[in-house]
Amino acid sequence: MNTLKTATHSHHSGAAPLLAEMAGLHAALQVSDDAVAGAPIRLTYRLSVLDTGRPLTDIVESHERMLHTVVVSRDLAGFVHTHPVVGPDAGSFVGELNVSAAGTYLAFTEFERESGQRVLLRHEFDIGGPSKELAEPEPGDMVRRTAGYAVSLLHEESLHAGRSIAFVLEVRNEATGSGVRNLQPYLGAAAHVIIIRDASFQFSHHDGEPLGGTESDTGPRQDGFGPYIGFEHVFEEAGVYRIWAQFNGADGETRTAAWTVDAVDPEGEPHAREPLPPQFATLAASTAHHGHHQAMGDVPGDSSSGPDR
């Protein structure tokens, strides 16, 4: 039986999301039979209540969408964030994605019910062949360049498992080096951060919070925020993790930046880290003030552990 850790969230005050079976639900995922890399792939979810078999019809909008689906390749190199919409049948949702390479993929889908209960689904499926080996941690430079922006992942603490670590995303104009102060909200937050562990595929999702700027970035603030976005995370265990951050630029277009990091045992060697802005302690304190964590231990794989093909 597969095991999966539920998500860690820092944008809701209630309990952590439940896997489908623990929430009393059945979740089937059908992937189009002719699915190939480089072409649109149709995903169809069919959600029902376990006890009665009746379609699940009490899903409500959360973060501007009803379903949020993150699909990653098993080597954690590929990443797609999509939003299935209500399908033609009660309890069904239909989505589409396009992946660039053949391999094994995992789909993590989150939604909220009228009762406030939050649910996490997990499915695994193959597209045209097996995946490559897992990505290796990336030493040194933690700056990622995406569509005109340079995004740095800053952290004050060494990446020790079991400790709450404040992270700050620093977004700068790639050409001028100046801090970007007119970022726009993305799905109701300053940013969305996804963190997945390579071995267990533990899934975590955080909402980034806008933080104050530096003196060098002062001046008329245009509509928006930046250049700093904070979030807090606890790496439950030592191991390799992939971090994706998504945010909207001043033009309203979504950017994605990704890092592979290695969390070590509490007594392990400290990690090299990017130079921090002088006011990082203040930014980190602001992050800690906004963020909180809810997590559950290993739980049995639920009824959504594999797709119907």
Q: Which residues contact 19 (CB under 8 A, 6 or more apart)?
A: 4, 6, 119, 120, 121, 122, 299, 301, 302, 304
pLDDT digits (tens, 9 = 90+) for 4-32: 333 444 444 446 789 999 999 999 999 98
pLDDT of residue 156: 74
Please spell the DSSP secondary structure of 285-307, one letter per residue.
HHHHHH---B---EEE--TTSS-
pLDDT of residue 302: 40
Residues of the chain with CATH 2.60.40.1930: 3-131
Beta pairing, strands 228-234 & 164-173: antiparallel
141 or 251, higher pLDDT: 251
What band does 304 get if pLDDT is binned at 50, 70 and 90?
very low
* Residue 247 reports pLDDT greater than 90: yes
What band does 33 get if pLDDT is binned at 50, 70 and 90?
confident
Instruction: Using a pLDDT cut of 70, give the percent of the chain over it.
Output: 74
pLDDT of residue 16: 78
pLDDT of residue 279: 54
Q: Does the model's pTM come out above 0.75?
A: yes
Question: How large is the C-alpha radius of gyration of the chain?
Answer: 19
Please return the burial class of 194, using the count of CB atoms within 10 Å of its CB with bins 0-12, 13-18 and 19+. buried
Written out in words, the top-level CATH class of the domain with range 143-290 is: mainly beta
Task: Answer left, alpha or beta for residue 159, where phi above 0 means left and psi between -120 and 50 means alpha.
Answer: beta
pLDDT of residue 288: 53
**Backbone φ, ψ for residue 102 (5° rounding):** -70, 155
Name the one residue in this structure whose structure tokens are 């979030």. Answer: 231
126 or 270, higher pLDDT: 126
Pick from 126, 102, 100, 132: nearest CA to 32: 126
Residues of the chain with CATH 2.60.40.1220: 143-290
Written out in words, the top-level CATH class of the domain with range 3-131 is: mainly beta
Q: Which two tokens stand for residue 15?
A: 């309990």
Q: Which two tokens stand for residue 231?
A: 């979030």
pLDDT of residue 174: 95
pLDDT digits (tens, 9 = 90+) for 265-302: 877 665 555 555 555 555 555 555 544 333 333 333 34
Q: What share of the chain is helix, strand, coil (3-state, %, to 5)?
A: 5, 45, 50
Residues 234-249, mean pLDDT to the nearest whole number: 94
Pick from 95, 109, 97: nearest CA to 36: 97
121 or 134, higher pLDDT: 121
pLDDT digits (tens, 9 = 90+) for 202-236: 899 999 999 975 444 544 455 789 999 999 999 99
Residue 9 contacts residue 205 (beta carbons within 8 Å): yes
Report CA 243 to chain centroid distance, whole Å. 7
pLDDT of residue 158: 81
